[in-house]
Structure 1
């Protein structure tokens, strides 16, 4: 029974670690194509009970990696929004609010 419980948690952590590894790979690839399908969502297993104590360091390390990946995603989203805002001002001329030409003939 204990081996089944430990094995179920190990498999759950394997799935979670694979998910965060895929996100890390995606973040490392600066030229990832927009057509790449999104990763399938990780679903927590049900009825596993408490995490075995010997797996806690691994679970903590996975959580740390997830938090780092989430911070990087947030940073990149913010940079992307800033770049889009700057691009829209450049393309539309929004940044220039003063007249460019003054007719002095009158």
Structure 2
């Protein structure tokens, strides 16, 4: 088994997965309803990462973390927008008296 080649293939697959998510985030409407279904699974029995591939693996990890942060930011934004919309539609956010007692 070509140990270095196996790691290169694994990193290629992982990098492709990150690129797909980056593309989805860049074009919100393209994959809004149908996100990519192929989940990346780490290969088994590869052994330690070859030192010459560490910079590439670190770069992919950095991109993954950036994508995860962007997804979390967008989810938070969507929750806020949904909560605001719900309050507007129901009037729940503004607690006002239903009537004014003018007898006083």
TM-score (norm: length of structure 1):
0.88
Match of 2:73 among 66, 72, 75: 75
The count of aligned residue pairs is 104
Q: Aligned ranges for residues 38-49 of structure 1 at < 5 Å?
A: 38-49=36-47
Query: Residue 20 of structure 1: which of 18, 21, 36 is its match?
Result: 18
- Per the normalisation by structure 2, the TM-score is 0.90
Q: Matches of 1:57 and 1:35 in 2, distance apart? A: 34
Aligned residue for 2:93?
A: 95
- What is aligned with 1:62? 60
Q: Deviations over 1:39-74 (max 9, x none)?
A: 311100000001011000000000000000000000
Instruction: State whether residues 10 and 43 of structure 2, in contact with CA within 8 Å, keep that contact through their aligned partners in structure 1.
Output: yes
User: 5+ unaligned residues in a row in structure 2: which ranges?
Assistant: none
5+ residue gaps, structure 1, are none
Root mean square deviation, CA, Å: 1.8
Q: How far did 1:38 drift? A: 3.3
Would the alpha carbon gap of residues 41 and 33 (structure 1) be closer, same or farther in structure 2, given more than 3 Å must change?
A: closer
**Alpha-carbon distance in 2 for matches of 1:63, 1:20:** 9
